[in-house]
Each structure stands twice: as C-alpha cells, then as structure tokens.
C-alpha cells in the first residue's frame, strides 16, 4: 500500500466532519500511552511515526497556540486513527501494521503543514535564549537607538534597507547614536502580508482573504512577541546595568511595541528613556498600566489615514482601540507628546519611510 486511496480520503473527509469535543478529549487522554507503547517497541522504523504523533499531540494540547477548527479536527482524526483499533491494516501485523498509521499521519501533517510551521516558530519564540538585539553600529556610547520592526518589515529587510541611512539624517543628539535592531523574524504571516497591503488604501478595497487564518496569525504574532519581550527585558536591563548613563531610544513600528511593553512591564527599572511609537498596536489601557509609572518620554505618532491598523482593530480587536489611531493621556510621571501625522502619513506603510522625518519634527 503505497498511498492512501481516493476512496479512503473521501471516507476520511466525511469522518472529520463528525469530530467533536468529546473525540478530542478522548484522543488527548489516550495518545501519550500509545506513543509510549510505540517507543517500547524500540524499532527505528517507527521513529518517523512517533515524531509526527508527538508533534501533532503537542499542538492540540497547547493552550497558547491558535489553530483553526478545521485543523484541530484533522489533527484529532489523525491521532485517533493511531490509537484506534480499526485500521486499514491491523496493527497486530508486526511493523507493516503501522504503515497505514504512518501514511495517515503524514497526510494529515501535510494538510496542516502551515500550522506546524507556525507552531515551530511559536516554540522558538517561547524558548528563545539567544540574543534578541542585533547591534549593528556601536555609536558614541551615550545614545543607543533600538529599532523594533512591525508586521510590514522583517529584521533582514530593515538591515538591508535604507533605515540605517535614514537614521543618519537624525537631528542631534541622536546623530551619532549606536543602532540596534530587535532580532525577530516571522515567516508565517501569509494572510496578513497578503491582505494588509490591499486594505492599506483610502479606497478601502475589499480584500479576498481567509478571515479565520488572518485572526489566528494576528493572535500568534502578539503571543510570540510577548514571549520574546521576556528575553528583551534581560538584555535591556544588562545594557543599563553596564552603562547606567546611556540613553536608550526605542523606535517601534506597530506590533513592534508589544515586546518592548512586555519588557518594561517586567521590571521597576526604567529600561528606555525615549520611546517613539508609530502606528502602535498597544491599547491605551495597557500603555497606562505599563508606562504610566515610568520616567519615560513618549512620542506617539498616529494618523487618521492608517487603514491597515483600523482594519485589524475593526475586525479582530473589537473591544479595544490602539494608541496608533489617537492621542494618549498625559501622566504626571510620564511625558507624552502626541502628534497627529495625518498630513504626512496617508497609509500605514508610510511610517516605514517617514519615521525619521517625524522624529526630526519633534524638538528634543
């Protein structure tokens, strides 16, 4: 039996539609015993089957990881096939009896390969212990600019783009500052990358996209960045510990504010001195909770023409409004300078080209 027949595939599709929560509970309860049983056979020919089963089991057991209902049903189906006594080839036949189990799990893994890819990135973010800041210019030792790319940029694009050249046109005192980049690379934002450029336009074009998967990618992005913020907190703390008088200037594009806010929240120490927010995705409530009691100068740039950010919050953050779409409150312990950049920012993507111009518009 080299492959799953079309007849069996059609049968499996019908079975998946009937999967319910009770089936998931049963599979979660049984799958580890089945995996342990396979390991006890101590046969290397079963290693691939075991790895696939362990990975799929991890995915559906992880409360922090977001998957669609369809993907969840397929994973439950695949694992249930493994633990079930009813197979195409009876398991009683040594090794050969697990051939169909391996084929079914391989087939299911292929169907949910996008989720598997996201899960691996989720684990990398959660368990990251490598340097989260990429220092690319040493600078004068008195100021350090840290760039936090958003969902329109990747770390590689920032390093290879004109961002560093743009920073060279900054007004003093930042002109000779050192430059670092928040070291995150996300490759799973397929729906966001496909949809946001279309919607980020005054014509408000109606995008053709997977609404459920867009939401899943958005939720995972926030989760991953919060995890990475924990590592960031330690690195910023060490910078301040080694150079107490160094001024840290954080420049955040949209979701790039998330890890920084997480890092700041984890300590009572002031980790950054000046914070520039461009179309930030943080809510005012979170801002007040995290930044409100810190001695930080905050520059909040927002635009009425930020169609991408408005699209996300109108459709996926219905109970919240981002500070990238309006003014922030001024607090006694924090200096907040709000700037309506609508005359310069005609769409969200303009921030990535005009952020230095906006920074220079502020008198430090």
Q: pLDDT digits over 248-307, tens only?
A: 999 999 999 999 999 999 988 889 999 999 999 988 888 888 887 788 999 999 999 999
Higher pLDDT, 335 or 293: 335
DSSP annotation string for 18-29: T--HHHHHHHHH
111 and 158 inside one domain: no
Does 182 map to a domain?
Answer: yes
pLDDT tens per residue across span 85-123: 655 444 444 445 578 888 899 999 999 999 999 999 999
Residue 260 pLDDT: 96
Q: To 10 degrees, what angle do helices 69-83 and 6-17 make?
A: 110
Of 76-80, 243-247, 267-271, where does mean pLDDT reach its minimum? Answer: 267-271
Tens of pLDDT, residue by residue over 177-228, are: 999 999 888 889 999 999 999 999 887 678 899 999 999 999 999 999 999 9
Final residue of a structural domain among 121, 154, 185: 121
**Do 35 and 154 lie in a common domain?**
no
User: Does residue 287 form part of some domain?
Assistant: yes
Residue ending a domain, among 91, 121, 151, is: 121
**Do 304 and 325 share a domain, yes or no?**
yes
Phi, psi of 262 (to 5 degrees): -65, -45
Residue 56 and residue 79 in contact, taking contact as beta carbons nearer than 8 Å: yes
Any residues with CB less than 8 A from the CB of 267 and at least 6 apart, and which? 233, 237
CA distance 276 to 251: 5
Question: Per the domain annotation, does 1 fall within a domain?
Answer: no
Same domain, 288 and 193: yes
Residue 206 lies in a domain: yes
In this prediction, residues 44-65 reach a mean pLDDT of 95
DSSP 173: T
The closest of 313, 316, 335, 334 to 325, measured between CA atoms, is 313
Task: Please tell me the pTM assigned to this model.
Answer: 0.89
Are residues 153 and 39 located together in one domain of the fold?
no
The CATH number given to whatever domain includes residue 297 is 3.40.50
Is 197 in the same domain as 79?
Answer: no
In a domain, 275, yes or no: yes
**Domain C-terminal end among 83, 101, 121:** 121
Domain count within the chain:
2
- Note whether 323 and 175 are same-domain residues: yes
Compute the residue count for the chain.
364
Q: Among 153, 207, 200, 204, which Cα is nearest to 347's?
A: 200
Q: What is the pLDDT of residue 7?
A: 86
Q: Is 44 contained in some domain?
A: yes
What's the rounded mean pLDDT across residues 160-182? 83
Q: What is the pLDDT of residue 207?
A: 84
Chain centroid to CA 234: 20
The answer on 216 and 72 residing in a single domain is: no
162 lies in the same domain as 291: yes
Segment 118-145, tens digit of pLDDT: 999 999 999 988 899 988 888 888 999 9
In a domain, 52, yes or no: yes
Mean pLDDT over each residue of the chain, to the nearest integer: 88
Domain that holds residue 308: 128-360
On whether both 251 and 168 belong to a single domain, the answer is: yes
Which of 252, 304, 315 is closest to 280 using CA atoms? 252
More confident call, 252 vs 321: 252
Q: CA angle at residue 126 from 120 to 131, to 5 degrees?
A: 105
Using CA atoms, how far apart are residues 8 and 105, in angstroms rounded to an integer? 14
Residue 333 is predicted with a pLDDT of 53
Name the maximum alpha-carbon separation found in the chain.
78
Band of pLDDT at residue 364, cut at 50, 70 and 90: low
SS3 107: helix
**Distance from C-alpha of 246 to C-alpha of 241, rounded to nearest angstrom:** 10
Task: Note whether residue 193 is domain-resident.
Answer: yes
Measuring CA to CA, which residue among 278, 276, 254, 343 is closest to residue 305?
Answer: 343
Q: pLDDT tens across 343-360, in order?
A: 999 999 999 999 999 999
Residue 145 sits in the same domain as residue 177: yes
Mean pLDDT computed over 30-54: 93
Tell whether 17 and 103 lie within a shared domain. Answer: yes
- At residue 310, does pLDDT exceed 90? yes
Q: What are the CA-CA distances from residue 112 to residues 21, 109, 121, 125, 211 (Å)?
A: 19, 5, 15, 20, 17
Give me 300's structure tokens.
């909040």
């Amino acid at each position: 039996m080299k492959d799953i027949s079309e007849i069996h595939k059609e049968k499996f599709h019908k079975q998946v539609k009937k999967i319910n929560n009770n089936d998931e509970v049963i599979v979660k309860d049984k799958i580890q015993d089945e995996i342990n049983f396979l390991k006890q056979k101590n046969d290397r020919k079963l290693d691939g089957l075991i790895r696939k089963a362990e990975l799929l089991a991890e995915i559906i057991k992880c409360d922090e990881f977001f998957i669609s209902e369809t993907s969840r049903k397929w994973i439950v189906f695949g694992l249930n096939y493994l633990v079930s006594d009813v197979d195409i080839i009876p398991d009683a036949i040594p090794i050969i009896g697990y051939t169909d189990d391996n084929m079914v799990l391989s087939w299911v893994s292929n169907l949910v390969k996008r989720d598997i890819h996201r899960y691996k990135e989720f684990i990398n973010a959660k368990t990251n212990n490598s340097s989260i800041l990429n220092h690319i210019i040493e600078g004068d030792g008195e100021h350090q600019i840290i760039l936090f790319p958003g969902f329109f940029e990747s770390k590689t694009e920032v390093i290879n783009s004109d961002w560093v050249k743009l920073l060279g046109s900054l007004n003093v005192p930042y002109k000779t500052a050192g430059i670092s980049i928040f070291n995150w690379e996300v490759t799973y934002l397929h729906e966001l990358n496909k949809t946001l450029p279309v919607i980020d336009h005054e014509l408000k074009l109606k995008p053709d996209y997977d609404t459920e998967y867009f939401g899943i990618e958005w939720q995972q992005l926030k989760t991953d960045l919060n995890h990475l913020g924990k590592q960031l907190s330690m690195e910023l703390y060490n910078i301040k510990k080694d150079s107490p008088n160094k001024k840290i200037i954080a420049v955040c594009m949209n979701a790039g504010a998330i890890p920084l806010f997480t890092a700041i929240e984890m300590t009572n120490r002031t980790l950054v001195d000046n914070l520039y927010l461009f179309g930030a995705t943080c809510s005012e409530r979170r801002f007040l909770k995290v930044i409100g009691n810190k001695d930080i100068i905050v520059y909040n740039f927002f635009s009425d023409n930020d169609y991408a950010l408005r699209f996300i919050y109108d459709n996926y953050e219905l109970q919240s409004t981002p500070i990238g779409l309006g003014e922030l409150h001024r607090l006694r312990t924090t200096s907040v300078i709000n700037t309506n950049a609508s005359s310069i920012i005609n769409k969200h993507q303009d921030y990535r080209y005009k952020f230095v111009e906006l920074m220079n518009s502020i008198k430090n």
